Structure 1
Amino acid sequence: MKKRNLIFILLFICFSGVLVGCSRNNANVAEADETMVLRYAYADNSQPVIDSMNEFGSLVEEKTDGEVVIEYFPDGQLGGEGELIELTQTGGIDFTKVNAAALESFSETYQIFNVPYLFDSEQHFFNVMENEDIMNEIYQSTADLGFVGLTYYDSGQRSFYMKDGPVETLDDLKGKKIRTMESETATKMMNLLGASAVPMGSDEVFTSLQSNLIDGSENNEFVLYTAGHGEVAKYYSYDEHTRVPDIVIMNDSLKERLTDKQYEAVIEAAEESTQFEKEVFKEAVEEEKEIAAEEHNVQFNEVDNSEFREAVQPLHDQFQNDEDTSEIYNKIRLMGEE
């Protein structure tokens, strides 16, 4: 069914007349006197991320003097993150923005971001994400699949939010059914913390909380008011177990359709949109917390996460000792000691 849906979407893109890419598959370089329309699709997102994706489009148009424009397909119009990655692979779209966890099934390298307490601080996270030596390796790990990473957006820290009370110690998680991202690493983390992992898509979480299918979930603060989860889960506990970035990916053949100047403009626009996102995201988080507390009476509490860190140490050992991940794991951890 998923493959059939993808074929339908591709046919829609090709025959709708809105998008120009399918009619010029053989073009290697854009003509200087015509406007190239690039397609950017994304699923549901918080407003600061949406604003940042729009900023990217504005910057591309500005830096190319209108030769390249971005057309958006928002809010899952062309599918969820899995479908959007596949459309980027095939060239059905040119860009999408997905959570790094969604890329695990395409490149095992992206698993590194789901290692709990990989980053010692927010600044450690930013230092790693803006380190070319580390990130170029990760971004290029999917080149043979037809797409590459372009930049990242801060998605904040991820902590637990529950229906029946705060999480203050590991005992508060024992036996609880907690939604996780559909990630093998995230599932292992939850089991090490003593909870029962329930992998599911983000669109299923609200009804699962309502129906008591799960006792809680984990995410950043934007699920509380923007996604409405604070209506049923009123306890948000800052154990801050992971910082999983959003990744903007691009069809790898796009650079063959752009002039060198246009391609450089896309790269610059992506990097500048990331710096824009860092600022608006931080401001929006504080606003989200205030509204969630006022509208849904969500309570926030700090957590001494030392026992949480100790409990998930086996995952650190796994990534440090695996020959495929040890080099990048050690590079990231060493940056926290600088």
Structure 2
Amino acid sequence: MKSLRVMLSAFAASVAFAGVASACEVTLKSSDTHPDGYPTVAAVQYMGELLKESTGGRICVEVFHSAQLGEEKDTIEQTQLGVIDMNRVSLGPFNNLIEETKVFSLPYIFRSTDHMHNVVDGEIGEEVLSAFQDHNLVGLAYYDSGSRSFYNKQRPIKSIADVDGLKFRVMQSDIFVDMVDAIGGNATPMPYGEVYSSIQTGVIDGAENNWPSFESSGHFEVAGYYTLDQHLIVPEVLVMSKSSFEKLSAEDQAAVRDAAKKSVSKMRELWEASEKASEEKVRAAGVEVITDIDKQPFIDSMKPVYEKHVTSDALKNLVSRIQAVK
């Protein structure tokens, strides 16, 4: 069944690609679950502009946004197979595939966005990107996804006690499931595209995400309580199919890497503006935003999550090094 699903997704992707007309010698097809205009989509489009310019028009990037090529789990598989050339994906779905990505997905591992930037822009970030090579992928760059917080339609969350029994959608990652379980909620992994209707119909009570995703998805229309507990500051990653990458000359490979790195500053600029605009829209819609929350009990409750998922000496060392970064 899994193979059939991937084959059908790959066929759909090939049909979509067939309609892309381009004068470029090489057109790299890139996937994103977010809608057109979202900072990650715009950043990859900007990368494409840089790449086209630096290669004299030989290489272009075509971004398929709004999950046109499937949800993240399926597009990861397609990228590994070389059906999709590039993919902007949250790190969460990689947690069960690439061990090193677990650490970046740990609750409260990053003290702030600046701390996260200092980690991923340095030696540690490059080490984790290099780990994608063993899984038929090439890690190109990290993008922001802000801080993730809980939202729901039942009640404001001001303490851990308020979480008790609430059903929250999480990404398909064991760490995220265990995180919700640790604070007394019921974790329900499901694709991002199913969240709106699931909240609306009561299949789940809520989910967790950043300001732009909460707003652009329309989830704020069905979940009227947003608690800024900021439990996760998980970077997103731009990856490329290893087979697609290896078809390029060394010069073009360097151009792809350079354009991807240069797109990061553009993405962060767009992200900051998007966060502000989304927050204003959500507040104007009447959503109750809870900011008066004691985070320490939430942080303390994550000890068993760390004990379960940070088991090897390598991962423990990685956690210590991240915590030591200023």
| Cα distance per residue 1:54-76 (max 9 Å; x no partner) | 11111110111111111232222
Structure label with greater radius of gyration: 1
CA distance in 1, matches of 2:183, 2:250: 49
Distance 1:6 1:115, change over 3 A: same
State the distance in 1 between where 2:34 and 2:2 align.
19
Judge conservation of contact 1:320–1:330 (CA < 8 Å) in 2: no
Q: Which residue of structure 1 lines up, in the alignment, with residue 317 of structure 2? A: 327
Question: Which residues in structure 2 correspond to 1:6-45 (within 5 Å)?
Answer: 6-11=6-11, 17=18, 35-45=25-35
Tell me the alpha carbon deviations over residues 249-288 of structure 1, each in whole angstroms, 9 at most, x when there is no partner: 1112334322232221111110111111111101111101
Distance in 1, Cα, partners of 2:132 & 2:88: 15
Task: Please report how far the alpha carbon of residue 40 of structure 1 lies from its aligned counterpart in structure 2 after TM superposition.
Answer: 1.3
The residue that corresponds to 1:198 in the other structure is 188
CA contact (8 A) 1:19 1:39 kept: no
Q: Distance in 1 between matches of 2:203 and 2:70?
A: 25
CA contact (8 A) 1:153 1:246 kept: yes
In the alignment, which of 129, 152, 174 is matched to residue 120 of structure 2? 129
Q: 1:297 aligns with which of 278, 286, 290?
A: 286
Equivalence for 2:177: 187
Q: Deviations over 1:152-182 (max 9, x none)?
A: 1100000011212221111111122122211
Single out whichever of 64-73 and 312-321 deviates more from structure 2.
312-321
- Matches for 1:1-338 after TM superposition, within 5 Å: 1-11=1-11, 17=18, 35-45=25-35, 47-131=38-122, 133-294=123-284, 296-302=285-291, 303-335=293-325, 338=326
Superposition deviation, residue 77 in structure 1 = 2.1
Q: 1:216 to 1:147 in 2, by over 3 A?
A: same
Q: Hey, what does 1:24 align to over in structure 2? A: none
CA shift at 1:92, angstroms?
1.1
Task: Determine if contact 1:319/1:329 at 8 Å carries over to the other structure.
Answer: no
How far does the alpha carbon of each residue in 1:104-162 deviate from its partner, in whole angstroms, 9 at most, with x for none?
A: 2321221212211001111111111111x212222222322211211111000000112
Partner amino acid, structure 2, of 1:92: V
Q: Which one is further off, 6-15 or 134-143?
A: 6-15
- Pairwise CA RMSD: 2.2
Structure 2: which 5+ residue stretches go unaligned? none
- Distance of 1:214 and 1:5 partners within structure 2: 25
| Secondary structure of the corresponding residue to residue 324 of structure 2 | helix
Q: Work out whether residues 41 and 72 of structure 1, in 8 Å CA contact, stay in contact via their aligned partners in 2.
A: yes
Provide, for residues 162-220 of structure 1, a one-character-per-residue CA deviation record: whole Å limited to 9, x for no partner.
21222111111112212221111111111111111122121121112112222221111
Percent sequence identity is 30
SS in 2 for 1:149: strand
Count of matched residue pairs: 322
Which consecutive unaligned segments of at least 5 residues does structure 1 have? 21-32
Stretch deviating more after TM superposition (268-277 or 323-332):
323-332
Contact 2:112 2:233 in 1 (8 A): no
Distance 1:205-1:14 versus aligned 2 partners, 3 A rule? closer
Report if the CA contact (8 A) 2:226-2:288 is conserved: yes
- Residues 222-252 of structure 1, C-alpha deviations (whole Å, 9 max, x = no match): 2333111111211111110011121111112
